[in-house]
Structure 1
């Protein structure tokens, strides 16, 4: 091979769920209740204000599990809102009192494409965007496009709207490797099954190409490099943190008992939104909460349309995915349910 894997704290150096301050090389937290773990973490950190909002978020989360789908988006959104407040406070990020998002409905038939969300330049969502390295630029998106860009409901989206292009490409064995001859290091991953083909390369985002260093596997790599110097690991891991944050804007995951990673395709796709799952889900759930609160009859009509399963999947899965992501951002750790399949 033309490269070697980089080891860090006894494990291969790889990508991390946290975008901003990941604790590379640390053991995965195997936990039955992430809410309880983070609450104790905040207590140990003397973050009582953040802990208050975290406990509120937990209460709203519990409410989503007993309410019907017409009503559950409202507490789900306030769960997202308060969990985000807790994370921002714990990280020392300032934010305004406004939610940072607004929505409206275009006249016409009941359609996800007629429900719109606007990212505001200030407020809580704007602070989350800035913290994650995204621009709070006042962009407006339809609810359909927001859901299209979420990996954990993408299969439901594809089955609902069969003409839509597949947006997420599954990857295996993501890791960081370095040259045998220089200090250059880069990201590699394996494509498997039907994706292990030359035609997949054209779908990759800009800055990726095939990795030819392992002839036995169909691999891809990121062209951008950083320096990894084994004799100076603190500086090397610092360089990787910067590299990793931009990498994670293109690589996304679905939470569960296994590590499921996907690279978001590139190309000229009008509905493609270059934002994280956290900010997209926050915005989408805000719109659904508005419908639930002010026009529940309209939300009910959405469940009479062809996209009813897609909406149901989002409302059901988004709270757990959001919890996993925001917990990782707050603590820098990765969480998985206990069990043999989740152990390293």
Structure 2
């Protein structure tokens, strides 16, 4: 078969083009090696549950209950006053498990109150013995939108805010129970089922890391979004993040925090300046990340570019405030609480009452000890 020179030339061009196309496809699907995580010695410095004073060196503590672990920790520290509050919290926690839904808020609140006192006492945070929070129902039908909660600049709740570096604006701050429940990550799915018209406030993430560039001696927060949330729509609700173009980002987004911290760590031995820079950076960014108490790692990024309903307070602060309002109804007005539990938002309130105890105590335990906790029977 005779093939003229033009045909051979066209065939060569076609082969070269195909080879180039194949090379480009391979380059696109090639998984790039992840950026290096920051380390101290041989240990990677990872996101921790504690917001203040996390212990980055200890391994995750495997336990089905943090009560005894924290008790032994406080005994070792010889802090009898904090230990007494912790014992009170545990007794109220155990009592809560035996009560019905109308009574649980009362003992739950006193569990949270005493656990908070244990934390503030151990961490030497001054606080007024008042509760620092009150509630009332405004005129109208019984609805969580009409339940108002007021936070004051003095009291146990204010002490918790001070510990978490949260400010209370003015002589008081007023929120609705509805908005507070909207801002709690551990019942957010239940909230969205009850109020599907409101946008989701939390974006689930697959991984959270602190990475660095050796040459530039800088580090930053890197977050991998779950694939179904990797969209421009989700990204538009986040301020201060951008897509890291180092990665492919075709199946899921890898985001980088635009702000950075100094990280000069020859042979994984960070300088004192780098450690201080990271600590400040960690505090500012850890408060924007939330986790759900679970056998698995469940971290979430809170959207910060929504116009309605966002409260810039921690999960601990909002949980204590919401439970105080429900405890008031449980103690003084159980008929109103029963009506709340029987109407459309009843399931949401029940989810809050049931789940908040485990979430709150897990978080307080981490703040007291600096450790991370995980239930047994799962890999860390």
The question of a shared fold, defined as TM-score above 0.5 by the shorter chain, is answered with yes
- Pair 1:213-2:246 in alignment: yes
- Residue aligning to 2:309: 271
Partner of 2:12: none
1:182-222 C-alpha deviation (Å, 9 max, x unpaired):
11100001112211122211011x21111122225521111
**Is contact 1:203–1:265 with CA below 8 Å preserved after alignment?**
yes
Matched residue SS, 1:284: helix
Using structure 2 for the length normalisation, give the TM-score. Answer: 0.87
Q: Which has the larger radius of gyration?
A: 2
CA deviation profile, 1:153-199 (whole Å, cap 9, x unmatched): 00000001111110000011100011242111000011122111222
SS at match of 2:204: strand
Residue in 2 that maps onto 1:35: 67
Quote how far apart the aligned CAs of 1:9 are: 5.0
Q: 1:164 to 1:119 in 2, by over 3 A?
A: same
Give the superposed CA RMSD: 1.4
Q: Deviations over 1:67-115 (max 9, x none)?
A: 1111110000000000000000001111111111111110111100000
Aligned residues of 2:148 and 2:175 also touching (Cα < 8 A): yes
Output the CA distance in 2 between the equivalents of 1:24 and 1:52.
28
Alignment partner, residue 180 of structure 2: 146
2:342 counterpart SS class: coil
Partner of 1:168: 202
Mapped contact 2:237–2:306 kept (Cα < 8 A): no
Other-structure match for 1:189: 223
Confirm or deny: 8 A CA contact 1:94 1:127 kept in the other structure: yes
Tell me, what secondary structure is at the counterpart of 1:293? helix
Moved over 6 A (4+): none
**Superimposed CA distance per residue, residues 99-148 of structure 1 (whole angstroms, 9 cap, x where no aligned partner):** 11111110111100000111101111101101101112321100000000
Match of 1:228 among 235, 248, 263: 263
Aligned partner of residue 291 in structure 2, secondary structure: strand
Q: CA deviation at 1:234?
A: 5.6
CA offset at residue 8 of structure 1? 3.4
Structure 2 CA distance, aligned partners of 1:327 and 1:234?
A: 30
- The residue aligned with 1:331 is 369
Q: Against the structure 1 CA distance between its residues 258 and 11, is the aligned structure 2 distance closer, same or farther, given a 3 Å change threshold?
A: farther
Structure 1 gap segments, 5+ residues each: none
> Counterpart in 1 of 2:49?
17
8 Å contact from structure 1 (residues 134, 275) kept in 2 = yes
> Secondary structure at the residue paired with 2:243?
strand
2:222 counterpart SS class: strand
Which residues of structure 2 form unaligned runs of 5+?
1-31
**Cross-structure match for 1:135:** 167
Residues 9, 51 of structure 1: CA spacing in aligned structure 2 closer, same or farther, 3 A cutoff?
farther
The question of whether the paired residues in 1 share the 8 Å contact of 2:265 and 2:271 is answered with no
- State which of 290, 314, 332 in structure 2 corresponds to 1:252: 290
1:311 match: 349
- Distance of 2:271 and 2:320 partners within structure 1: 35
Secondary structure (helix, strand or coil) at the match of 2:36 reads strand
8 A contact 2:291–2:300 mirrored in 1: yes
Q: TM-score, normalised by structure 1?
A: 0.96
Query: Structure 1 pair 10/256, CA: closer, same or farther in 2 (3 Å)?
Result: farther
2:227–2:253 CA contact under 8 A, matched in 1: no
